[in-house]
Amino acid sequence: MRFRFKILLSIWGVVLSLLVITFFIINYGLRSRIEENFAQELRSNYSTLSVFMGLQSEILLRGCQVIAESPRLRAVTELRDPRTAFQLSQEIIQTTLNDLFVVTDLSGRPLVQILNGREETLNVSTRGSIQQALHRQPVTDVWSIGPLVYRVASTPIMVERDLIGTLTIGFDLSSDEAATLKRTTNSELVLLQGSEIVLATLQPSSLDHIRPALAKFFNERNNQGDDSTATITLPAGEETYLAVFYNLSKSQDAREKPIGYLILKPVEQELHNALSPILGTFGFVSLLFLVLTTVIGHLISLGISKPISELVKGTDEVSRGNYDYEIAVRGNDELSYLAQQFGEMSKKLKEKISELDRLNKDLLARNRELDATLRQLKEAQEELVKSERLAATGKLTAQLAHEINNPIHNIQSCLKTTLTKLPEGFEGRELVEVAFDEITRMSKLTRQMLDVYRTSLVREELQPVDIHTIINEVLMASRPELEAAQITVRTAFATGLPSVAGVSDKLKQVFLNIILNAKDAMPRGGTLTVRTSIEAERIKISFSDTGIGIPKEHLHRVFDAFFTTKGKVSGVGLGLSVSYGIIQQHRGSITVSSNVGEGSTFVITLPTATRSEAVLTELR
């Protein structure tokens, strides 16, 4: 990206940030003003609703008192005849159009209970308004019966100064009344019984969003107490309402759910209506401001982009190694001074790099020599440790084998003679055969222990031999066992391979030991790959299998005497130790690499016959 474009982007970023901040300030200011105005309107609506409800209650109570003064109602109440009371109540309801009509006797027992034109059985004796009427106090209240809420008035029925019963009349709070109040207060209204919605002027989708907020509001109201004129915030999906709760209930019983109107003002809708005329003007001014800043930024960038381009070209030339390049920047400003200093720096850098290259070459040469010396020293140390350990083990095992070999042969001869004299089927012959097999195995182990001694201490005459011929003979002899184990053998022999100085039988023993170990490592079959190559007058033979592999913690011990990783007893762990000693006698090396689950690779390196003769000549 060109530098002047970066300048323009930076200016645009600053301008856009300022515009965004300005928009948020406008949005915050409008929201605060709307919320403040809504809070004042809600308090005013609360007062309006209080006056309206007071007038309604006063009218209802006055009508109730007029009906209670009716001589016929007094007579019926004194008779305490439910049938006569029902007939009279039907006549009164036709005239007054009441939704609720209840008459009780002096003890509060209902004489007639009519709800929406039908006689019902209502539990009204415990209602607070009736109890107050029994105490000669006329009162208004709201009752919740089923899904509806009724505004009621209760008054005592008196004959002169004697109380003979109570009268309660009422009307249900309908959606028409809510609509009237909505027009009067210019607000949305929700009639609540506790957190349950009885009726509302809101759309059903808005009610679904507001229900969780209502439940939370009433829980907090029960915990913190009632503040009648307190403004509350109710989130409802994408909308947020400011509200105030007007309580219609006059009961002091905390167990009863409060009944009242929730007066609502939609904040987000009002904010959107307020922002709509502003956004067009704000967008036009923002676009104009961006155009002006673009023109100014372009003029500024032209004044500094050309010198910077020359500086960039100079840095490219220096990065390519042209340290003599001069930057064509003229003037007396900071950029020209920077170009001058850059030229001097490139000259000094050229001198330093030349000197550093020379020092690096010397250091690399010394590091290579040191690495080679350390590698040779490490290899020699490892070989010396292995040779000393093998020699000590060979000497010890040879002495031990010599001491026990003669008794073993005597026991073996005795058992063999005993077997020849015992007829077939003779009781106890099986035990003698088992003893003979075990002593034969011990004899084999003593021979292996002597092999360790011979390979580590006894020198043999080396003759030129063909490695490929030896490998093929061993593979031919091992073919039946390998085929039975479902092992495929692959060979990759180098052509024109020279002969090596060695003992054919000993090398066969080494190769056979490695092949048999590979077979044991592939119990479910696999592939054995044999490769040969020549590197610097040394022949490399590798045996790679696809077996179970050797754990890393065991790799450094595989050539130790008496160490084995096989899962069952099939030897004493001398095979690789003997092989290691044989390869050492041939002035070669044997190494192993392995990954568990992927297989192992044994690499044998032997000097060619010509190289072996040269080494022997030097030693003489």
10 or 119: which carries more pLDDT confidence?
Answer: 119
**pLDDT at residue 569 in the model:** 43
Measured CA to CA, the distance from residue 309 to residue 318 in angstroms comes to 14
Number of H-type helices and E-type strands within the chain: 13, 18
Return the number of other C-beta atoms located less than 10 Å from residue 545's C-beta: 25
Checking if the pLDDT of 458 tops 50, the result is: no
Checking if the pLDDT of 397 tops 80, the result is: no
Percent residues over pLDDT 90 in the chain: 15
**pLDDT at residue 202 in the model:** 86
Query: What residue has token string 């060109």?
Result: 2
What is the average per-residue pLDDT within 10-30? 83
Measured CA to CA, the distance from residue 130 to residue 163 in angstroms comes to 13
**pLDDT at residue 102 in the model:** 92
Checking if the pLDDT of 559 tops 60, the result is: yes
Measured CA to CA, the distance from residue 92 to residue 67 in angstroms comes to 8
- Spatial strand order of the sheet with 232-236 comes to 196-200, 188-193, 259-266, 239-247, 232-236
392 or 571: which carries more pLDDT confidence?
Answer: 392
- Give the residues across from 167 on adjacent strands: 103, 155
Q: Does residue 409 contact residue 443 with C-beta atoms inside 8 Å?
A: yes
Kindly compute the dihedral angle of the four CA atoms of residues 366, 367, 373, 375, in this order, to the nearest 10 degrees.
-170
Measured CA to CA, the distance from residue 516 to residue 448 in angstroms comes to 16
Q: What residues have CB less than 8 Å from 85, skipping those under 6 apart?
A: 76, 77, 79, 103, 111, 112
**pLDDT at residue 620 in the model:** 47
Q: Which domains does the chain carry? A: 6-24+53-173 (3.30.450.20), 176-271 (3.30.450), 354-457 (1.10.287), 459-619 (3.30.565.10)
Instruction: Share the mean pLDDT of the chain.
Output: 81
Q: Which of 56-65, 232-241, 454-463 has the lowest mean pLDDT?
A: 454-463
Q: Which of 283-297, 338-352, 374-388, 403-417 has the lowest mean pLDDT?
A: 374-388
**Position 527 confidence tier, pLDDT thresholds 50, 70, 90:** very high
**pLDDT at residue 62 in the model:** 94
Q: Distances in Å between the alpha carbon of 40 and those of 231, 236, 269, 456, 466?
A: 10, 21, 18, 108, 111
564: number of CA atoms within 13 Å, CB side?
Answer: 14
Direct distance between the N- and C-terminal alpha carbons of the chain, in angstroms, rounded to an integer: 75
Q: Which tokens is 29 given? A: 């200011």
Q: Distances in Å between the alpha carbon of 139 and those of 70, 166, 168, 375, 441?
A: 19, 11, 10, 109, 117
Measured CA to CA, the distance from residue 119 to residue 258 in angstroms comes to 27
139 or 412: which carries more pLDDT confidence?
Answer: 139
Measured CA to CA, the distance from residue 206 to residue 235 in angstroms comes to 10
Checking if the pLDDT of 496 tops 80, the result is: yes
Taking only the tens place, the pLDDT of each residue in 34-70 is 888 888 888 898 899 889 988 989 999 999 999 998 8
**Position 398 confidence tier, pLDDT thresholds 50, 70, 90:** low
CA angle, 285 then 290 then 291, to 5°: 100
What is the average per-residue pLDDT within 441-447? 70
**Position 457 confidence tier, pLDDT thresholds 50, 70, 90:** very low
Q: What residues have CB less than 8 Å from 241, skipping those under 6 apart?
A: 188, 210, 233, 234, 235, 264, 265, 266, 267
